[in-house]
Amino acid sequence: MEFLKGHGTQNDFVLLPDASGALELTPARVAALCDRQRGLGADGVLRVVRSAALEEGAHSGAGWFMDYRNADGSLAEMCGNGVRVFARYLVEADLETGPDFSVGTRAGDRRVRVHPDRSVTVHMGPARITGTSVAIVGDRELSGVAVDVGNPHLVSALDDDVSGLDLREQPRFDGDVFPDGVNLEFVNVLGPRALRMRVHERGVGETRACGTGTVAAVAAALHLAGTDHGSSTVDIPGGRVEVTVERGASTLTGPAVIVARGELDETWWNSLP
């Protein structure tokens, strides 16, 4: 069984080409693949399926559907770094000619552009401000802005450097506000068009980047500054992305890299429940 490994600003993924949707991708198999000791290691899995081969893809106008799974095996609606890596793979594998095409996701179709320098721009859809809530990190209560980018986010802006936060443990959040869990972003505003961010992802833990999280962070920062449109760079531990937010739309631009391809051991794979 073929696999590829790739990353977008060091948010890393195992890609599983599965055009016909035949693969039985259980949560245990995803968790084993993503485990950095007993598997390949990744923040998530991107199953590459023809939209027509999946019930979930039936309403998609895109040829290919990104079946995204978090490292713990859970499903998520969207993954901004994952879509960039997915798009890069489709072009390198001659499954799309590019540079512009759409990718199906659980949050809807996402238009992408694969640039000659290997970076990818994704039209991420609306970033909707849905309210406020609180994240608790250690003994600190950090108020934040809730943002829906297809998946749920809570963005807390801090005055002190976010690099001082200990994100090894799952921060607490209000389960009534986020019954399906939430991705938690912590940001410093560095200037009118520059943010620094760290993230604790739902279903993964701290990652070195989160694409939907960067869009949420920019939308929240604009909201706190009293506006709903603008653009910003976002520096994350894994690199830098550029985000624009408009009324009802947003874009994310950043690198997408395929680093390896190989074969999974069938005996190992079949031993997993």
Ligand X SMILES: N[C@@H](CCC[C@H](N)C(=O)O)C(=O)O
Q: Confirm whether 34 is a catalytic residue.
A: no
Catalytic residue among 79, 112, 137, 204: 79
Identity of the residue, 169 or 265, whose beta carbon is nearer to ligand X in the bound complex: 169
The Cα 75–Cα 92 span in angstroms is 26
Q: Could you write out the DSSP letters of every residue in 159-184?
A: SS-GGG---SSPPB--TTT-TT--EE
Identity of the residue, 52 or 111, whose beta carbon is nearer to ligand X in the bound complex: 111
- Identity at 198, one-letter amino acid code: R
* Binding interface with ligand X (CB under 6 A): 11, 70, 76, 79-82, 151, 183, 201-204, 210-213
Measured from the Cβ of residue 195, the count of other Cβ atoms closer than 10 Å reads 24
Nearest to 155 by CA among 243, 214, 206: 214
Q: What Å distances lie between residue 72 and 120, 136, 147, CA to CA?
A: 27, 22, 23
Instruction: Please give the annotated binding residues for substrate, written as ranges.
Output: 11, 70, 80-81, 151, 183, 201-202, 211-212
The Cα 79–Cα 121 span in angstroms is 13
Question: Least distance to ligand X from the beta carbon of 205, Å?
Answer: 10
Question: Least distance to ligand X from the beta carbon of 93, Å?
Answer: 21
Question: Least distance to ligand X from the beta carbon of 187, Å?
Answer: 15
Q: Confirm whether 210 is a catalytic residue.
A: yes
Identity of the residue, 97 or 170, whose beta carbon is nearer to ligand X in the bound complex: 170
Pairing assessment for the beta strands 11-17 and 44-50 based on DSSP bridges: parallel
The Cα 81–Cα 10 span in angstroms is 9
Q: What Å distances lie between residue 169 and 16, 202, 206, CA to CA?
A: 30, 12, 9
Pairing assessment for the beta strands 257-263 and 2-8 based on DSSP bridges: antiparallel
Catalytic residue among 210, 216, 217, 221: 210
Question: Least distance to ligand X from the beta carbon of 84, Å?
Answer: 8
**Degrees, nearest 5: CA angle 1-69-43:** 90
Instruction: Please give the annotated binding residues, written as ranges.
Output: 11, 70, 80-81, 151, 183, 201-202, 211-212
Question: Least distance to ligand X from the beta carbon of 256, Å?
Answer: 11
The residues assigned a catalytic role are: 79, 210
